[in-house]
Amino acid sequence: MPHNTSSMPVPLTGSLERFEVSKNAFLPEQLPLDRLSDPYYESWETILDQLPSLLATASLRGEVDRLQVLDISRLVSQREWQRAYLILSFFTHSYIWESGGPSERLPASISVPFLAVSSHLGLPPTATYAALNLWNFTRISPSASLSNVDNLRALHTFTGTRDEEWFYVISVAIESHGAPIIPAMLSAMDAAQADKPDTVIEALGKFSQCIREIGMILQRMDDHCQPDVFYNKIRPFLAGSKNMAVAGLPNGVFYDEGEGKGQWRQYSGGSNAQSSLIQFLDVALGVEHSLTGAKKGSNPGFLNEMRNYMPGPHRAFLQHVESVSNIRNYAATNTEVAIAYNAAVEELSHFRDIHIQIVTRYIINPSRKQGPVKNAGMNLAVASTHSKTKSLHGTGGTALIPFLKQSRDETKATSLQ
């Protein structure tokens, strides 16, 4: 994507509402709903309340098969649509990946409402980062910041474990803590256009500090999430239906729409590459992830594809910012700005190194251990552990370490000489 310094309007903070970008960045302005109030949806809420125990006893599919196909016309507010999307995301991945081996069919009681809700929100009918993180949290103390991870709770998990809850709220805290970067970098784009180097340098300094701090939040993953619990119990439920032949879904999943209708679909699972904040960092600095130097097994188009897994307005925001992103070009014309710019690129590269270390500890290392002895069927953990292939895939369906290292190397390559 070419970067320009033309007179195209930069989306100033006042107009961010149309992109559903709030003071909490891509998190909603108000806390997500913890229940749909209309009693019509009580059967959904009841199953969601019992989800971890139903999955532990392999009785979730039986419960879902008895559900009626509910009409989504009673959903009114945006928060209700988001809540319905969360519920149906959890149902979908629970139904597919319940122990005993994956289900290649999703029943109409999930498919029919999920397709409608997803269409309304501009999202695919699968468990995305939005469902698992952006719309799946609450706070313990009303006065504490959302970037304080100790003050956050996840509304729902597949496993009922503290480990899974912690895995989600780390991402929520990162999203919240990164929020000030957005107005700062948009102002910097305005300032670059107006040739105000001091403002750009100040914004890049804020950017560097903020990235350093979100790296520290990410490193707290170890506090309450154990690698073996994540790998064997949590990660299998995050897997999608795309590139999952190794885990027992060669054709993806058939979304049954009733009366003999339906179609086979393949979707990536939840992935941090679906975080609009993480992609904004690249766009703001003009980091380009391309085919250049692509290693075998990596997927350079993956990040662009992951935008289709973001809420529609967030996707539009990134596209808009991409069209006005001018900071790298401006830094190339001013030595002091270039120094601040390179420092920001260095911090972003370091953040990617931290991510690689986490993935190594939570996925690569456990995959080398003997698989779980007590296993009643195939899932991503079992398949990965026993896989003869060297390339371990992420829940998003892409080759994991080659992709992450390529992203890190492309970030470093953005530095100005």
Q: Which fold has domain 32-412?
A: Methane Monooxygenase Hydroxylase; Chain G, domain 1 (1.20.58)
Task: Give pLDDT, residue 391.
Answer: 58
pTM (global) more than 0.95: no
Please write the tens of the pLDDT for every residue from 355-391.
Answer: 999 999 999 888 888 655 454 466 666 665 555 444 5
Q: What is the pLDDT of residue 388?
A: 44
Q: What are phi and psi of 254, to 5 degrees?
A: -85, 115
Give kind and range of the element (H or E) at residue 257.
Answer: strand 253-258
355 is in an annotated binding site: yes
- pLDDT given at position 147: 96
Q: How much is the pLDDT for 30?
A: 95
Residue 377, pLDDT score: 60
Phi/psi of residue 318, each to 5°?
A: -60, -40
pLDDT of residue 407: 87
Helix (H) or strand (E) holding 253: strand 253-258
Dig out the tokens for 241 from the structure. 């239906």
- Residues 225 and 155: their CA atoms lie apart, in Å, by 17
Q: What is the pLDDT of residues 288-305, one digit of tens each?
A: 876 533 443 334 477 888
CA distance 177 to 48: 29
Residue 385 has which token pair? 């552990």
**Residues of the chain predicted below pLDDT 50:** 1-11, 13, 292-300, 373, 375-376, 388-390
pLDDT at 4: 42
Q: Residue 146: which residues within 8 A CB-CB, separation 6 or more? A: 24, 27, 137, 139, 152, 172, 173, 176
Cα-based distances in Å from 142 to 35, 152, 162: 18, 10, 21
